[in-house]
């Protein structure tokens, strides 16, 4: 048993645990320090500079950081691919634009660091804990049962 499990009963999702594209944009974290990402599949290549992946707003959200922050471009950072950016999202798919050359192809898996990790962590029922290339465990997300009716009479 992990020592944290003995002393910590709840983790709140957030950039202080995971880091995200907001921290990348302010240069307070590196890609390697971002612990949460969405694993997406490239499902289409409709034009030379455009790919479609199977992760949209239901995974990544539409948050682009604080109002007035112009340092974030798009809706997530494609880990290990500085030539790619997430230019648009629908509910289920993302538009990945290419700026330069890429070796990406249909069927490839890409890791997208969300702009805001809080909402991405909350959008799912569980997270998959990975260490290196090994799946270590599932982490249940139960924030929906952590609400109260304190303001309802």
Per-residue pLDDT of the chain in tens (153 residues, 90 and over written 9)? 555 566 666 666 667 789 999 899 889 999 999 999 999 999 999 999 999 999 999 999 888 877 667 788 899 999 999 999 999 999 999 999 999 999 999 999 999 999 999 888 888 888 899 888 899 999 888 766 666 666 666
d(CA 57, CA 47): 22
**Residue 34 pLDDT:** 94
**Residue 121 pLDDT:** 86
Instruction: Indicate the pTM of the whole model.
Output: 0.84
d(CA 118, CA 141): 12
Domains of the chain with CATH codes: 10-121 (2.40.37.20)
**Residue 141 pLDDT:** 81
**Phi and psi torsions of 142, nearest 5°:** -125, 30
């Amino acid at each position: 048993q992990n020592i944290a499990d003995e002393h910590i009963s709840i983790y709140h999702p957030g950039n202080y645990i995971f880091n995200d594209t907001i921290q990348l944009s302010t240069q307070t974290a590196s890609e390697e320090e971002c612990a949460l990402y969405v694993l997406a599949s490239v499902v289409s290549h409709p034009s030379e500079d455009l790919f479609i992946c199977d992760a949209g707003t239901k995974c990544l959200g539409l948050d682009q950081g604080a109002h007035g922050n112009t340092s974030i471009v798009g809706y997530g950072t494609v880990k290990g691919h500085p030539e790619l950016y997430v230019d648009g999202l629908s509910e289920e798919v993302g538009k990945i634009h290419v700026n330069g050359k890429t070796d990406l192809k249909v069927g490839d898996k890409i890791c997208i660091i969300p702009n805001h990790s809080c909402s991405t962590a909350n959008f799912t029922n569980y997270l998959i804990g990975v260490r290196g290339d090994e799946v270590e465990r599932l982490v249940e997300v139960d924030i929906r049962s952590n609400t109260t009716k304190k303001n309802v009479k």
